[in-house]
Amino acid sequence: MAKRKSQAEHDAMVKQIASFLRSNDYKSIRADVTGFQPPAKIPFKNGTGYIPDVSAQGKRFNLFEIETADSIFDDHSRDEWTTFSRFADNNDAVFWVVVPTGSKTAADIRLMELELDARILEL
């Protein structure tokens, strides 16, 4: 997980998504925060990969990457989004980018710049 200025905000959002999924009968919920098993690494190129912030099984497998306002345009976020979006496309899964209220437009712009498909959720 990349370090960011707003790590506490990020971790609180991760826990909020995981709790929401748990209360809505999603299965195999994993989250990259204390108290949960971490999600599986999603392969990238050359044997590397990234761990999504949250994963869960609903009707389809779901990957969630939580961003704060200061991380949407990071190179690290670009690499993670690219990996998770391609994985979702190739595996009938759903990739979610979760951002704080007021950051949806920035996330939309970033996804268009990167030519990636994801659902955006504001918390």
Q: Tell me: the pLDDT tens digits for 14-28?
A: 999 999 999 999 999
Whether residue 65 contacts residue 80, with contact meaning beta carbons closer than 8 Å, is answered with: yes
Tally the C-alpha atoms within 13 A of residue 26's C-alpha that lie toward its C-beta.
21
- CA dist 73 and 96 (Å) reads 16
Span 50-76, pLDDT tens digits? 999 999 999 999 999 999 999 999 999
Map out the domains of the chain with their CATH numbers: 7-122 (3.40.1350)
Kindly state the helix (H) or strand (E) to which residue 54 belongs, with its residue range: strand 54-57
Whether residue 51 contacts residue 32, with contact meaning beta carbons closer than 8 Å, is answered with: yes
Span 36-45, pLDDT tens digits? 999 999 988 7
Can you name the residues that pair with 86 across neighbouring β-strands?
Answer: none
